[in-house]
Amino acid sequence: MTQVAKTERPARASYDVVIVGGAMMGSSTAWFLAQNPDFNGTVLVVERDPSYEFAATSHTNSCIRQQFSTGLNVKISQFGAEFVQNLPRFMGSDAPKLTIQNFGYMYLANSAAFADVLRASHKVQVAAGAATQLMTPDQIKAAYPFYAVDDLTLGSINTVDEGYFDGITLFDMFRRGARAKGAEYIANEVVAITKNPTGSRVDRITLATGETIACGQLVNASGTRGAKTAAMAGIDIPIEPRKRFTWIFTAEQPLDRPLPLTIDPSGVHFRQDGKTTYMAGGHADYDPAVDQTDFEMDHTIWQDHIWPAIATRVPQFEAIKVIREWVGHYDMNTLDKNAIVGPHHDINNFLFLNGFSGHGLQQSPAMGRGTAEWLVYGGYRSLDLSPLGFDRVLRNQPYLEKAII
């Protein structure tokens, strides 16, 4: 059996809801479920690593945006922004007051084709109520004189509810709040899922410590291990761990104004991080699936790809110094870069929360709310997430999200 660093045994032999994975998505679902007055069942959250050392949640860059190419993703993030900035209203007067650092996202296009993508996405975003604005190179230069714009054709920016926030505090509030409201968390690992004789329902799970636990409903919120969890139930989902690299750096000549989260045509992105620090992110040109335990840094990526792109776009960043770096993982949905959410078509008590492809943190409030609604009511009530359902995977019909960083 797979071993975990520390194991805890469940208090019961049966639960109404078992959530596999206790990081951001699992804890968001547990919180929304536990605080729902129409739910009076039992909840077990099984987390293999209670330190969350290697969870995507712990390696997040804590960003939020409304610049997506699908209206549903815009609305999902709009609720995320509302939730983040109004925690006391949603979670009680003791909750901290969080803010979004609204430096915005600046998408830069250097080709007619990508400019057309930005224009099409702009129409979707504005129709959904986002404050996105398109900018010519001259307008970009006037507002942000530190950019080199000679190769650009168009930019897109939104500085309303778009930037970064304290994602770890939000996660901590979900987890602590869910436990306070009765959700049971254990350090353990699901190593098997058993269905009923007809295969139409999950009957029970088996833990690494040997216990078999009956469950009424099961939620797969196991991040980059989502495909492995699904496979235990005989389900194939197109989810793969992909490495993503992050660097924090200082500049010999700091900028005189906040730096938006800049998505350069090279694929490199960088933004303001603190008053005098900046964050950059990217990945290798060759972007294969990796093992869930592979967090090895590749220092050549910074030297050969990231830093040259940054210095080209912002010449003032010619002299910069890396002060911290880390590797995280995306749970990449290779079908369409969008989440897979909701129930399986045949195994009707198996629910997905998988494949967020880098935008899971900002989507966690809406996803936790929607999943909890499905668990309690058998359908979505606040926002219809059904376009993200598993049936599109079966049909091999992508619900494509083009704005992936």
For residue range 63-95, list pLDDT tens digits in order: 999 999 999 999 999 999 999 999 999 999 999
Query: What pLDDT does residue 174 have?
Result: 98
> What distances in angstroms separate CA 398 from CA 354, 395, 402, one per listed residue?
15, 9, 11
Handedness of CA 294, 295, 299, 305 (dihedral sign): positive
CA distance 103 to 84: 16
User: What is the model's pLDDT at position 134?
Assistant: 98
Across the range 107-135, mean pLDDT stands at 98
The rounded distance, in Å, linking the Cα atoms of 331 and 360 is 9
What is the arithmetic mean of pLDDT over 157-175? Answer: 96
23 near 171, Cβ under 8 Å? yes
- pLDDT number for residue 6: 64
Q: What is the DSSP letter of 161?
A: S
Q: Are strands 43-47 and 184-187 parallel, antiparallel or unpaired?
A: parallel
Digit-coded pLDDT (tens) for 180-223:
999 999 999 999 999 999 999 999 999 999 999 999 999 999 99
Cβ count within 10 A of residue 120: 12
Compute the radius of gyration of the chain from its Cα atoms.
Answer: 21
Residue type, 40: N
pLDDT digits (tens, 9 = 90+) for 138-165: 999 999 999 999 999 999 999 999 999 9
- Residue 405: per-residue pLDDT: 85
Rounded to the nearest 10°, the torsion over CA 278, 303, 405, 80 is -30
Strand-pair category, 163-164 with 105-109:
unpaired
**Helical segments of 181-329, H only:** 226-232, 299-301, 307-313
State phi, psi for 261 to the nearest 5 degrees: -70, 105
Specify whether the CB–CB gap between 225 and 21 falls below 8 A.
yes
Q: How many CB atoms lie within 10 A of CB 25?
A: 33
pLDDT band at 62 (very low <50, low <70, confident <90, very high): confident
pLDDT of residue 58: 84
**How far is the C-alpha of 379 from the C-alpha of 401, rounded, in Å?**
24
Q: What is the pTM of this model?
A: 0.95
Can you list the positions of beta strands (E) in 188-303?
190-195, 202-207, 212-220, 239-251, 261-263, 269-272, 277-282
Residue 186 in 3-state DSSP?
strand
pLDDT band, residue 4 (cuts 50/70/90)? very low
Mean pLDDT of 230-248: 97
CA neighbor of 346 nearest in space, from 195, 199, 196? 199
Determine the Cα–Cα distance for residues 362 and 42; give it in Å rounded to an integer: 27
pLDDT of residue 2: 42
Residues 6+ apart with CB under 8 A from 379: 373
Q: Mind listing the pLDDT tens digit for each residue in 337-395?
A: 999 999 999 999 999 999 999 999 999 999 999 999 999 999 999 999 999 999 999 99
If one compares 372 and 62, the residue with the highest pLDDT of the two is: 372
Q: What is the pLDDT of residue 362?
A: 95
Nearest CA among 57, 368, 7, 3 for reference residue 186 = 7
Q: Which domains does the chain have, with CATH numbers?
A: 14-60+168-238+335-395 (3.50.50.60), 101-160+240-330 (3.30.9.10)
Percent of the chain past pLDDT 90, that is, above it, reads 93
* Predicted pLDDT at 135: 98
Position 392, amino acid:
R
